[in-house]
Amino acid sequence: MTDMTSPMPHARTDAPDAEGREERRLGFWLTLPAQLLVLFIALFPILMQIYISLTDWSPLDGIPWYRAYELWIGLLNYADLAGDPRFWSALWRTGLVMAICVPVQVLLGLGLAILFVDDFRGKRVLYSTILVPMMVVPAVAGYMFFMLFQSGGPINDLLSMISGQRVTIAWLSDPDLALFAVIVSDIWQWTPLMFLILLAGMVSVPQDQQMAAVLLGASWGRRFRTIVLPRMKTIIIIAVAIRVIENFKVFDNFYIMTGGGPGVATETISIYIYKVTQQELIWGYVAAIALAILIVLSVVSMLAIRKMRKA
């Protein structure tokens, strides 16, 4: 990828020094309002979150948020969080979903990209079809899979047809199967994005290098392992990072399919936060959870970026 970009030459106006400084100062003042606005938009919610997370504030208390300091409890929310089994189990479940979904999506996406990098009949139609799930609103996808996985739904019907016996699996009310079902929906919806990103990466692998390898007698597998994959390293890291971050935020289809249940069997971190926010209304605590996750995600992104620099 990096081989293909070349720096664009910048037009430079060589104004005399004093004039240039003057101009730059004017520029600073002219852009200041916009910069302040951007800074405010980016920073304010985070600062507010940090502030609230250090209090026991709830919208039911009748105290406006800026006077939340009256309920100052210091790091108590964080201490509670550290000992909250439901938080840890939601975090662990999120990790589990991620650990299954991301590799499966990457491998499926890679496999599809390999198929689509060469031309074949009907490629365009198939290509557009494969991308459809990505464009379905996640909530709608949730309803689709909610219906598919009903005990009297099409999936059980299909299984009945194949096995010849009446199958009535309670997909969404069995704790293990429910997790399986939501994972299937996530894979269905996001494999196309992986496919799209990885295909773009695969297409950018220089054709002449592959030709050179062929002429040197390298088999397809060897070329893939020694040329295509190493050259796609950056794009694979990007793809994985996007999915890891997105998987932390997975909510819509999970909530619609199972509401986090049965029990807490499919309760991911987002659903947990949603429930604490909307049902238990302890916002100081919510702020603390959200901040903890922000820190985790920042670390993940940083690791990904560092890996990418190395690649």
Chain residues binding another protein by CB under 8 A are: 3, 206, 208-209, 211-219, 222, 226-227, 230-231
Smallest distance from another protein to CB 216, Å: 4
Shortest distance in whole angstroms from residue 148 CB to another protein: 44
CB nearer to another protein: pick between 170 and 211: 211
Taking the complex as a whole, the smallest distance from the CB of residue 214 to another protein amounts, in Å, to: 5
How far apart are CB 205 and another protein at their closest, in Å? 10
* Residue with smaller CB distance to another protein, 67 or 225: 225
Nearer to another protein, 44 or 220 (CB): 220
Nearest residue (CB) to another protein, 209 versus 298:
209
CB of 120 to another protein, least distance (A): 18
Secondary structure, 3-state, the chain? CHHHCCCCCCCCCCCCHHHHHHHHHHHHHHHHHHHHHHHHHHHHHHHHHHHHHCECCCHHHCCCHHHHHHHECCCHHHHHHHCCHHHHHHHHHHHHHHHHHHHHHHHHHHHHHHHHHCCCCCHHHHHHHHHHHHHCCHHHHHHHHHHHCCCCCHHHHHHHHHHCCCCCCCCCCCHHHHHHHHHHHHHHHHHHHHHHHHHHHHHCCCHHHHHHHHHCCCCHHHHHHHHHHHHHHHHHHHHHHHHHHHHHCCCHHHHHHHCCCCCCCCCCHHHHHHHHHHHHCCHHHHHHHHHHHHHHHHHHHHHHHHHHHHC
Indicate the residue among 30 and 215 with the shorter CB distance to another protein.
215
Nearer to another protein, 24 or 222 (CB): 222
Question: Shortest distance, CB of residue 135 to another protein, whole angstroms?
Answer: 35
